């Protein structure tokens, strides 16, 4: 019965939202930075191409944000500048880079502040936050996700798990309890991660960015905060609205190519 219901909802959500209407609602932001393989663009090509596995994503506007160079990496500035030029060329020749805006940070900002720069160019209410070294392994119901987030404001952060949907030290509570309506299978998690996720633009602007006090990974601030607040009172989860796509024991939607070690 449950499987039949999920199938019915997926069909309904696909009818509800065409590729063009998804593009009116969602922008994809990819963050990139200097890595050892630069000026090669091969890893970025692989991960941008993988986005098209998700229905509707090929029509969505894309933004690629280039973080600035950390002062200890200034000796590789020429490689990074060549990388930027190579990506500029891809926007004119490569299908996965069509309809893409490039944003360049003048200084090293780390992920949160780089995303903040990118979001200045977002005109849609929803965003897919993507990091340059994550490859999408299998499709998800993007139409159902956005319809669910539109109708249920408690869904604020829906992550594609690169592991399986189960309790871990990071996702210390994982269950199939959803606060409100959803047209897709979700697992509630009390862990906050910056790995690839669907989210709301205003969620970042009003709730996430104000909590980032230094140029450090967002998880360093958000995950301990959510863990502390929800351990004290599980009802505080609604403030964070964090969910994993899929049922329990589902997952493995991402492959981490690890840009710091990428060779080919």
> How is the chain split into domains, by residue range?
17-139, 154-193+211-251
Which residues lie across from 64 on neighbouring strands? 30, 102
Angle at 241 between CA 240 and CA 246, to 5 degrees: 135
What is the maximal distance between C-alpha atoms in the chain? 60
Q: How confident is the model at residue 39 (pLDDT cuts 50, 70, 90)?
A: very high
Q: SS in 3 state form for 95-145?
A: HHHCCEEEEECCCCCHHHHHHHHHHCCCCCCEEEEEECCEEECCCCCHHHH
Specify whether the CB–CB gap between 211 and 222 falls below 8 A: yes
Distance CA 194, CA 212 (A): 13
pLDDT for the residue 260: 82
Superfamily grouping for domain 17-139: Spore Coat Polysaccharide Biosynthesis Protein SpsA; Chain A (3.90.550.10)
Is residue 70's pLDDT more than 90? no
6: CB partners within 8 A, 6+ apart = 184, 185
CA 84 to chain centre: 22
Lowest mean pLDDT segment, chosen from 147-151, 167-171, 204-208, 216-220? 216-220
pLDDT for the residue 215: 77
What Cα–Cα distance (Å) separates residue 50 from each residue in 57, 68, 110, 253? 10, 25, 24, 11
pTM for the model: 0.91
pLDDT digit string, tens, across residues 194-220: 999 999 999 999 999 999 887 778 888
Q: Between β-strands 126-131 and 157-159, what pairing exists: parallel, antiparallel or unpaired?
A: unpaired
Q: Say if residue 249 is exposed, middle or buried (CB neighbours under 10 Å; 0-12, 13-18, 19+).
A: exposed
CA 249 to chain centre: 21
Q: How confident is the model at residue 136 (pLDDT cuts 50, 70, 90)?
A: very high
Distance CA 78, CA 196 (A): 29
pLDDT for the residue 142: 97
């Amino acid at each position: 019965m449950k499987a039949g219901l999920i199938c019915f909802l997926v069909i309904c959500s696909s009818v509800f939202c065409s590729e063009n209407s998804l593009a009116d609602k969602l922008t994809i932001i990819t963050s990139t930075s200097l890595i050892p393989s630069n000026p090669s663009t091969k890893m970025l090509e692989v991960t941008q191409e993988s986005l098209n596995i998700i229905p509707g994503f090929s029509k969505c506007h894309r933004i690629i944000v280039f973080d600035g160079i950390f002062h200890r990496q200034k000796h590789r500035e020429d490689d990074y500048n060549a990388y930027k030029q190579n990506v500029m060329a891809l926007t004119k020749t490569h299908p996965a880079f069509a309809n893409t805006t490039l944003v360049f940070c003048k200084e090293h900002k780390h992920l949160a502040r780089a995303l903040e720069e990118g979001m200045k160019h977002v005109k849609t209410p929803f965003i897919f936050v993507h990091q340059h070294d994550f490859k999408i392994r299998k499709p998800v119901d993007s139409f159902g996700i956005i319809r669910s987030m539109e109708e249920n404001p408690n869904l604020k952060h829906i992550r594609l798990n690169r592991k399986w949907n189960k309790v871990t030290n990071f996702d210390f509570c994982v269950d199939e309890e959803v606060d409100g309506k959803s047209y897709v299978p979700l697992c509630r998690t009390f862990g906050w991660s910056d790995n690839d996720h669907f989210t709301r633009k205003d969620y970042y602007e009003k709730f996430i960015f104000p909590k980032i006090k230094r140029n450090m990974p967002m998880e360093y601030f958000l995950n301990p905060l959510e863990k502390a607040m929800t351990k004290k009172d599980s009802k505080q989860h609604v403030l964070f609205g964090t969910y994993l796509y899929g049922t329990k024991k589902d997952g493995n939607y991402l492959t981490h190519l690890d840009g710091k070690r990428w060779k080919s």
